[in-house]
Amino acid sequence: MTGSGSLGSARRLPDFTRLSLSGGCELALLPRPGSPVMTLTLIWQGGALTDPSGLGGAASLTAELLAKGTEASDALQLASRIESLGAQCDTWGTRETLGLTFAGPGRVFDRLWPIVREMLWTPRFDRREFVKTRMRAIESIQAAKDGDPRSLLPPYADGWIYGTAHPFGHPVMGDETSLGAIPASLMRATWMRHRACARTLVSVVGDFDPLKVEEELRALLLTPGGAERSVPHAPALAATAARPRGLLIDRPGASQGYFWIGGIGVDRSYADWVELELVHAALGGRFNSLINRRLRVERGLTYGAHSGYSLPGFPGLSYLTSYTPTETTAAAIEASLEVLGEAHEKGFPMADLEAARRFLKGQEVFRYETSGQLAAWLGTLLLQGRDVGEWERYPERLDALSPDGARQILNETFPAPEACRLVVIGDAERLLPHLGGLGEWTRHPMAAAGFGPWLG
């Protein structure tokens, strides 16, 4: 995928120690003497892939409830204990992981380790906290449907592309129906399944003694006679019946149309992931990228557009997205497809690749500054199974990508315009007369629970 270019020298990232423990735990320890903040990140593989059928959002709720109390402390007491040490705790759930991060002064971690142990081994999963957390999740979906719906384009697109019978087709956060059906007892069962799964991934960055932290982690994570369990993986995507090209989410009275254009791309094993980042920076990742220039500057159709992609363990999605007044929605979609088609056919102008290179290099120098950033990077490295050298060669790989190489990567990772699926949120009565030329459409009410009509 490379070509002529001014090769920059590979830069050196901080040295760290990588260890594998019995039972499938992997550690990355990066001491930084004098660092004011120490960060501990724990990642368990599974996430929303483990949600039972019809109970989407269970893993996401479980992650949130980990910070809502232990057997020794209720939610308020636990938060107070952590804050009194000048530390903070964040939890999260993604499509494929649950995660927990602690950050605080290194000198307090001797007192923070017992709290970490409590959260991992004796979480409370209080029923009242569960009910409140579940209700907030449902209300946030309803608020998005009543307000700015841009955050809802991805879950509608996931369901439309993968089919809601596939684990990647239902949202990580769940929906109004699935969340309401989740029993409180599922939280503890979900957590027990994650805590014992293979390849628990841990990164620690800060001013610490590596031998002492390794000892703490061994005591924290390993259980006598604990059996290693398999890591959940998404099933193969089954063939689905032919369906219309577009999904139109009807929001009567909407003054704008919000659209998503895309399809299935590649997974995290894709070797040219650095070059893919450059391709999207040129296509739609910058304020003056190709798609922004066409829609915003030349046509005056929108304030901004964006291209993006995901690289999960299963083939992810590549997409273009934007929003515009209802009367210009069809024109904006056509212009977006036009830009995508030109890039597929002709590639990228060298000036745009050079501008994208400068942009990414300027952003990249800030990625490895703080303990939190380094801990997140190490977690990604462990999850993706990559070597640190791939990140160290990042600048030279950017420099080496030619216009022909960029075009080839786009063709490998982003469907051609005629193969793209379309998702639009807006006033169906006003939009449909103008969208007919883009293909056949299925209309679905936004007021309906969930994120689309398809089950397969």
For residue 52, give both structure tokens. 């039972």
Phi-psi region of 13 (alpha: psi -120 to 50; beta: other; left: phi over 0): beta
Phi and psi for 259 in degrees, rounded to 5?
-130, 155
Classified as helix, coil or strand, 33 is coil
Residue 11 falls within a domain, yes or no? no
Phi-psi region of 216 (alpha: psi -120 to 50; beta: other; left: phi over 0): alpha
Residues 180, 251 within the same domain: no
Q: Which amino acid is it at 1?
A: M
Whole-angstrom distance, CA of residue 150 vs CA of residue 170: 17
Residues 255, 173 within the same domain: no
Residues 257, 200 within the same domain: no
Task: Report the 10 Å Cβ neighbour count for 71.
Answer: 11
Q: What is the pairing mode between strands 305-309 and 246-250?
A: unpaired
33-89 per-position pLDDT tens digit? 999 999 999 999 999 999 998 999 999 999 999 999 999 999 999 999 999 999 999
CATH code (residue 82): 3.30.830.10
Residue 44 falls within a domain, yes or no? yes
Residue 183 falls within a domain, yes or no? yes
Between helix 403-413 and helix 350-364 the angle, nearest 10°, is 80
Residues 71, 120 within the same domain: yes
Whether the CB-CB separation of 382 and 41 falls below 8 Å is answered with: no
Whole-angstrom distance, CA of residue 197 vs CA of residue 51: 15
Residues 199, 59 within the same domain: yes
Residues 166, 63 within the same domain: yes
For residue 288, give both structure tokens. 């003056």
Residue 455 falls within a domain, yes or no? no
What are the CA-CA distances from residue 286 to residues 278, 308, 322, 394 (Å)? 10, 11, 13, 19
Residues 217, 269 within the same domain: no
Q: What is the number of structural domains in the chain?
A: 2
- For residue 442, what are the β-bridge partners? 247
Residues 192, 259 within the same domain: no
Among residues 167, 187, 221, the one where a domain terminates is 221
Residues 201, 258 within the same domain: no
- What CA dihedral angle connects 422, 290, 347 and 279, to 10 degrees? -80
Among residues 188, 221, 254, the one where a domain terminates is 221
Residue 375 falls within a domain, yes or no? yes
Contacting residues for 132 by C-beta, under 8 A, at least 6 apart: none
DSSP structural state of residue 438:
G
Residues 184, 55 within the same domain: yes
Query: Across the beta sheet with 17-21, what order do the strands follow?
Result: 17-21, 25-31, 200-206, 38-45, 97-104, 88-93
pLDDT, residue 243, reads 76
Degrees, nearest 5: CA angle 2-314-441: 100
For residue 132, give both structure tokens. 């409140």
Whether the CB-CB separation of 377 and 280 falls below 8 Å is answered with: no
Closest CA to 280 of 267, 271, 289: 289
Closest CA to 321 of 291, 277, 286: 291
DSSP structural state of residue 150:
G
Residues 214, 289 within the same domain: no
What are the CA-CA distances from residue 385 to residues 103, 313, 381, 427 (Å)? 24, 11, 6, 45
Residues 295, 409 within the same domain: yes
Residue 125 falls within a domain, yes or no? yes
pLDDT, residue 24, reads 77
Whole-angstrom distance, CA of residue 418 vs CA of residue 437: 12
Q: Which amino acid is it at 177?
A: T
Please give the residue range of the domain that contains residue 30. Answer: 17-221
Residue 229 falls within a domain, yes or no? no
Q: Per-block average pLDDT, block size 10, for the chain (456 residues)?
A: 42 89 88 96 94 94 97 97 97 96 95 96 97 97 93 95 87 95 96 81 96 93 62 77 87 96 96 97 94 94 94 95 96 97 96 96 90 96 91 94 96 97 97 94 94 72
Residue 12 falls within a domain, yes or no? no
Whether the CB-CB separation of 383 and 311 falls below 8 Å is answered with: no
Classified as helix, coil or strand, 247 is strand
